[in-house]
Structure 1
Amino acid sequence: MTCAAGDEDDPFPVDDGLFADTFSQDTVYSLMGQELKIRQVFGANLGVAAPVWEAALQLCGYLEQQSVEVRGQRVIELGAGTGLVGILAARLGAVVTLTDLPLALPQLQANVSANMPSSGWPSSPPSVLPLSWGEDHMNFPSDWDLVLCADIIYLPETYPLLVETLAHLCKSGAVVYLSSKIRKEHQTPRFYEECLLSRFNVELVHRDDNQNINIYRASLRKD
């Protein structure tokens, strides 16, 4: 992966006032045969939504290694941040909805626009929508095929809200893939061993000891 400089056709305007007093970094990621230009905007109060986290790259790698079918699948990404994972799925032919808190949506939408293939999106342009866990998930359908989550397990007070949201999204049998850096200080193990396990069947499918990242596959229990 390499860093890329802006050009005359830069889809991210720098003088529109949206990201005043900020700086950004453009990186081109080569993933699953696709080249994605992702802008990370720092200093815009985006916090953890600004960077591309290693757990997102690991999730993309896992989907490729395991040949997880995404073409034609209905996919929703939670806490999408820069949108790397969901945009990749859309480039591969999935029907994708990217969600995050409202503050992160301009960055998400800009990255979606920057990564539209020259021939157009294989299925449809990714939707970018606000979603606050445990609050407005009922505005979303429950007929997804895949729910993707990359490094969103770090605030213990949100864990019950996230489980409630996941349970709604998975009513029709969606499979959830969650990629997480295991931060004991943030009680990440408790989320998987207690909170998620209370409603879902959970399986550890990949472990990277060097990065301390786990990938889990989960499905809603029908009891």
Structure 2
Amino acid sequence: MSVTQEEDDPFPVDVSLFTDTFCQETVYRLVGQELKIRQVFGANLGVAAPVWDAALFLCHYLGEQSVELSGKRVIELGAGTGVVGILAARLGAVVTLTDLPSVLPQLADNVSANIPSVGWPTAHPTILPLAWGQDHQNFPSEWDLVLCADIIYLPETYPLLLQSLTHLCKSGALVYLSSKMRKEHKTHDFFEEFLQSRFHVELVNCDHGQNIHIYKASLRKDL
């Protein structure tokens, strides 16, 4: 079965990644939490299916740096499997997980599979659709943290992502972006040109072996 996309769709599905649909469940032990994550590999989800290394790197960073999550209002963009946001919720954050509509069933399954035995510390994670540059006006701006893991890979979406981040951070949210730095996707351009045009940007961690960087950003007030 083929998957068709509108020519002007800024979020294309790469149908060549997975010709057959199959599921894989993996247990991750992160920051003292055990998470069971289901990945649905298939053309419908494309790059949203896997747990990417940049997501795990961000999870470890949040724990190692003791980033305060308890009671914080957190939104994750391009959540995919939800591993980052689910971890934040298990650690006490009030979390909203967002992605394109086709990804939401995978997110819902993983949230359900990781309900703590004593219940969520603060609140059950919320799952909502958000296409960058299109839906962000439906969301408030009163967040503490915006989390992003390996979502910087389509240059045509960079202006759209910047629009959404600007809206979500109007009240002072900090953004943590973990990304594999792909030359072929001009990942550096997003951080050095697009993001710095509106945000103060700081490189806070990197894994040279995996070529993964974590940036912390806050909206500039001098614009």
- Paired AA for residue 195 in structure 1: F
Query: Percentage identity across aligned positions?
Result: 77
- Paired AA for residue 74 in structure 2: V
Q: Runs (4+) of structure 1 moved beyond 6 Å?
A: none
1:108: how far off? Answer: 0.3
CA distance in 2, matches of 1:200, 1:90: 26
CA distance in 2, matches of 1:93, 1:149: 18
Q: What aligned pairs does 1:170-181 form with structure 2 within 5 A after superposition?
A: 170-181=169-180
1:44: how far off? Answer: 4.7
1:91: how far off? Answer: 0.4
- Paired AA for residue 39 in structure 1: R
Q: What aligned pairs does 1:78-157 form with structure 2 within 5 A after superposition?
A: 78-157=77-156
SS of residue matched to 2:133: coil
CA distance in 1, matches of 2:189, 2:200: 15
CA distance in 1, matches of 2:22, 2:189: 36
Seen in structure 2, the aligned counterparts of structure 1 residues 116 and 44 have a Cα distance that, compared at 3 Å, is farther
Which whole-Å deviations, capped at 9, do the CAs of 1:4-44 have from their partners, x for residues lacking one?
Answer: xxxxxxxxxxxxxxxxx721110000011110000000125
- Paired AA for residue 36 in structure 2: K
1:218 alignment counterpart: 217
SS of residue matched to 2:196: helix
Which whole-Å deviations, capped at 9, do the CAs of 1:87-132 have from their partners, x for residues lacking one?
Answer: 0000011000000000000000000000001111111100000000
**TM-score, normalised via structure 2 length:** 0.90
CA distance in 2, matches of 1:214, 1:22: 31
CA distance in 2, matches of 1:44, 1:87: 24
- Paired AA for residue 181 in structure 1: K
> What's the RMSD between the two structures over aligned residues?
0.7
Which residues of structure 1 form unaligned runs of 5+? 1-20
CA distance in 2, matches of 1:24, 1:194: 38
CA distance in 1, matches of 2:135, 2:191: 23
Which whole-Å deviations, capped at 9, do the CAs of 1:176-217 have from their partners, x for residues lacking one?
Answer: 000000001001000000000000000000111000000000
1:5 alignment counterpart: none
Q: What aligned pairs does 1:30-69 form with structure 2 within 5 A after superposition?
A: 30-69=29-68
- Paired AA for residue 87 in structure 1: I
1:6 alignment counterpart: none
- Paired AA for residue 151 in structure 1: D
**TM-score, normalised via structure 1 length:** 0.90
Which residues of structure 2 form unaligned runs of 5+? 1-19
CA distance in 2, matches of 1:47, 1:154: 13
1:158: how far off? Answer: 0.4
Number of aligned residues: 203
